[in-house]
Chains A and B, each alone.
Chain A
Amino acid sequence: MEIDRLDGRTPNQLRPLACTRNVLNRAHGSASWSQGDTKVLAAVYGPKAGTKKNENPEKACIEVIWKPKTGQSGKAEREYEMILKRTLQSICILTLNPNTTTSVIIQVVNDDGALLPCAINAACAALVDAGIPLKHLSVAICCCLAGSGYVILDPSKLEEQKMKAFVYLVFPNSVLSNLPEGQLKVQGEPMEHGIITSVTQGAMPVEDYLHCLERGRAATAKMSAFLRKSLQPKLPID
């Protein structure tokens, strides 16, 4: 059952991705990530001394500040900050710099659907640009469920508003390693099948959720390759 998407994409097709590193010269690390028309700018200020009041001083702490495009920061921004913080905490190696705070500042430049996954990708790229030690990278994607039960990926804002339910999924990126295959698997499954974060909105049956997971995983393989390529150091052309 094919659906005609407004911009002519197939259900599994992502919007054109663009990633630029080192956009801001003052921040320790910065990146700008855009998926189609959705564009997010992330800046990272590296470990500062001290942690916040309720945080564990034996580990590094990550602080996320989300700046919306217009308007004051409200509850939705707090929710995004919390989700982003938990996601980034699971990819950073927190035991390396105890009792420090790393600040991640997200600025929304344009919102055209799939805002949170775009922000997570930008934050991950900015952390790499800042040189913060990470266990692995993360790729985030948004899957929507239409009323008739089929799944489309990376919706634009209009598509998001018409959908019955959607889910934001964050997976670790695919591994490129010289180690023998057996060592890379966790309990028999390759590492990139693990889920770091899953945020759902709307009601969906379990089979549809699992279906979204499958589609999401397949698409993140392509995003992983793109992320790896754009984060590689660029050599000056002689």
Chain B
Amino acid sequence: MAWRMTVNENKFIETALESGLRIDGRRPFDYRTVDIKFGKDDGSAEVHLGQTHVMAFVTAQLVQRYRDRPNEGSLSIFTEFSPMADPSFEPGRPAEYAVELGRVIDRGLRESRAVDTESLCILSGKFVWAVRVDLHILIMEGKLPLFFC
């Protein structure tokens, strides 16, 4: 049962925007407060952007590498749209936008070379680190692709 905006709500938002106000009182280019907390163990963080909460956990495993890329480790990102964030998320197969979101983040981190995959190699051709990032979305109130980096 999707929620639909009423005509009144549409008009209200448009009129407010014309006078430079958004529905929560912010100006058009204002950000919500960001709060980043690091967990006790290495590799975990929790970010709050306004009401949206996301948790990230990073783990690494030693794996044997493919022969075509013997000098590089791998970085994989798993985005979990937990039903906790919104009851319309079904567990199991992720919806289209969830997959798209995962790919946007993946390309962003990979292509900007934020993590140097060559440095993840320990023994060329034999053992490399496979870094795995798990993102759990706890509450969703908009602006998801922003915070993952």
Contacts and interface: CB of A to CB of B under 8 A. Distances in A.
A67 B141 CA distance: 20
Given A70-B132, A110-B41, A24 B80 contact: no
A105 interface: yes
Contacts of B87: 45, 48, 103
A219 to B, nearest CB: 25
A233 interface: no
Nearest to B82: A67
Nearest to A46: B87
Contact of A107 (B40, B78, B84, B132): B84
B58 to A, nearest CB: 9
A41 interface: yes
Contacts, number: 55
A110 B82 contact: no
B134 A69 contact: yes
A48 B86 CA distance: 13
Given A69-B57, A110-B41, A105 B84 contact: yes
B40 A25 contact: no
Given A48-B87, A105-B82, A71 B138 contact: no
Q: Looking at chain B, what size class is its interface with the partner chain? A: 20 to 34
A41 B138 contact: yes
B84 A110 contact: no
A26 interface: yes
Interface string B58-77: 01000000000000000000
B134 A103 contact: no
A164 B139 CA distance: 40
Given A26-B140, A105-B84, A71 B53 contact: no
Contacts of B110: none
A201 B86 CA distance: 35
B136 A67 contact: yes
Contact of B134 (A26, A30, A48, A71): A71
A24 B139 contact: yes
Contacts of A25: 51, 139
Contacts of B140: 26
Contact of A24 (B39, B40, B136, B138): B138
A26 B82 contact: no
- Residue of B40, B84, B87, B138 ringed by the most chain A CB atoms within 10 A: B84
A65 B81 CA distance: 12
A105 B85 CA distance: 10
A43 interface: yes
A107 B134 contact: no
Interface string B126-149: 000000101010111100000000
Interface string A21-32: 000111100100
A107 B44 CA distance: 14
22 contacts: A24-B138, A25-B139, A26-B86, A26-B139, A26-B141, A30-B84, A37-B40, A41-B84, A65-B82, A71-B132, A72-B78, A73-B91, A103-B87, A105-B82, A105-B83, A105-B84, A107-B82, A107-B136, A107-B138, A110-B39, A110-B40, A110-B44
Given A45-B83, A71-B132, A109-B55, 19 more contacts: A24-B84, A25-B51, A26-B139, A26-B141, A37-B40, A45-B87, A48-B87, A65-B91, A67-B84, A70-B59, A70-B132, A71-B134, A72-B78, A73-B91, A103-B83, A105-B82, A105-B84, A107-B55, A110-B44
Interface of A: 24-27, 30, 37, 41, 43, 45, 48, 65, 67, 69-73, 103, 105, 107, 109-110
